[in-house]
């Protein structure tokens, strides 16, 4: 029997996704978001409401209600990648590399994350909670980066889209994923709007990380260090530490850095395209 993932006549399923383009990326992200919400409801149905079997905010609470739906989502995404035969191209060396100035985005995110971790009251948080958040962060980074810097970027490139479009669409869809927090959490419209802007520019910095490092694993790990550090800092900040200013204003620092680097990126890509056209 022929293998539809390796022979010269792939299945209709694979042919559909191999064509790529932005609307397929939108479909994929929307379906994944729906699947993730269903998985969250399933976890709630099995284990009860948050704060039921585990104290709210505890390590076990984080593992069950935050990590578990994301872990299941990772399984779904990896199975989807395997069904297309894309695991190697998603996690292997990237075909489009970056330039040295793109390291600025990585440095800024690392400074924020390290400052946040150094500003956490470790005694108040406890080793168990810190460990559970760090583990959860790995799966957050894997799921969200595989979806947006993995699948979305790959789909855009397969359609022959330029890297400006690749960067903007992957960042916009990453931001759109967080717009749903307005309906699933108690945060207001203004907070959600700021979060969407922040995640758009954070997503763009992760795109730059993908470009300059050449492999998806690095934005995954960089993203994996972000959520735990920010959540732990927000719940258990230490007083009297001057580094506290960095994570306190991290949202605006990411937006400012992302906006400046986006302008540099667009100018750089257009200049490179003009050089290629006249070569």
Classify the phi-psi angles of 13: left when phi > 0, otherwise alpha if psi is within -120 to 50, otherwise beta: alpha
Strands (E), 154-225: none
pTM of the full structure: 0.93
Per-state percent for the chain, helix, strand, coil, to nearest 5: 80, 0, 20
The whole-number pLDDT of residue 55 equals: 79
Check residue 5 and give its pLDDT.
45
CA–CA separation, 9 and 129 (whole Å): 50
Are 251 and 198 in contact by the 8 Å Cβ rule? The answer is yes
- Cα–Cα dist 266/165, whole Å: 10
Dist. CA 25–CA 185, nearest whole Å: 25
The one-digit pLDDT tens for each residue of the chain (279 residues) are 334 444 566 799 999 999 999 999 999 999 999 999 999 999 999 998 776 777 788 899 999 999 999 999 999 999 999 999 999 999 999 999 999 999 999 999 999 999 999 999 999 999 999 999 999 999 999 999 999 999 999 999 999 999 999 999 999 999 999 998 887 777 889 999 999 999 999 999 999 999 999 999 999 999 999 999 999 999 999 988 899 999 999 999 999 999 999 999 999 999 999 988 887
Instruction: Report DSSP state, residue 100.
Output: G
Predicted local distance difference test score (pLDDT) of residue 7: 55
Is the separation of the CB atoms in 255 and 197 below 8 Å?
yes
Backbone conformation region of residue 94, classed left if phi is above 0, alpha if psi is from -120 to 50, else beta: beta
């Amino acid at each position: 029997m022929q293998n539809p993932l390796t022979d010269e006549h792939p299945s209709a399923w694979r042919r559909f996704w191999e064509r790529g383009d932005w609307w397929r990326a939108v479909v994929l992200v929307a379906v994944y978001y729906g699947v993730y919400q269903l998985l969250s409801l399933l976890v709630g149905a099995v284990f009860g409401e948050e704060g039921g079997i585990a104290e709210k905010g505890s390590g076990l609470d984080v593992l069950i209600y935050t990590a578990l739906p994301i872990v299941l989502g990772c399984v779904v995404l990896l199975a989807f990648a395997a069904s297309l035969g894309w695991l190697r191209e998603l996690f292997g060396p990237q075909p489009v590399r970056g330039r040295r100035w793109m390291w600025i985005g990585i440095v800024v995110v690392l400074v924020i994350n390290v400052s946040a971790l150094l500003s956490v009251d470790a005694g108040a948080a406890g080793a168990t909670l810190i460990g559970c958040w760090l583990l959860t962060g790995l799966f957050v980074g894997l799921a969200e980066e595989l979806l947006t810097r993995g699948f979305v970027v790959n789909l855009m490139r397969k359609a022959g889209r330029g890297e400006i479009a690749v960067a903007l669409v992957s960042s916009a869809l990453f931001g759109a994923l967080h717009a749903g927090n307005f309906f699933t959490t108690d945060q207001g419209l203004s907070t959600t709007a700021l979060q969407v802007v922040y995640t758009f520019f954070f997503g763009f910095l992760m795109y730059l990380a993908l470009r300059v490092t050449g492999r998806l694993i690095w934005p995954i790990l960089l993203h994996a260090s972000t959520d735990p550090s920010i959540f732990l800092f927000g719940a258990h900040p230490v007083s009297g530490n001057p580094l506290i200013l960095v994570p306190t204003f991290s949202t605006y620092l990411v937006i400012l850095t992302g906006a400046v680097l986006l302008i540099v990126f667009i100018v750089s890509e257009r200049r490179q395209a003009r050089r290629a056209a006249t070569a």
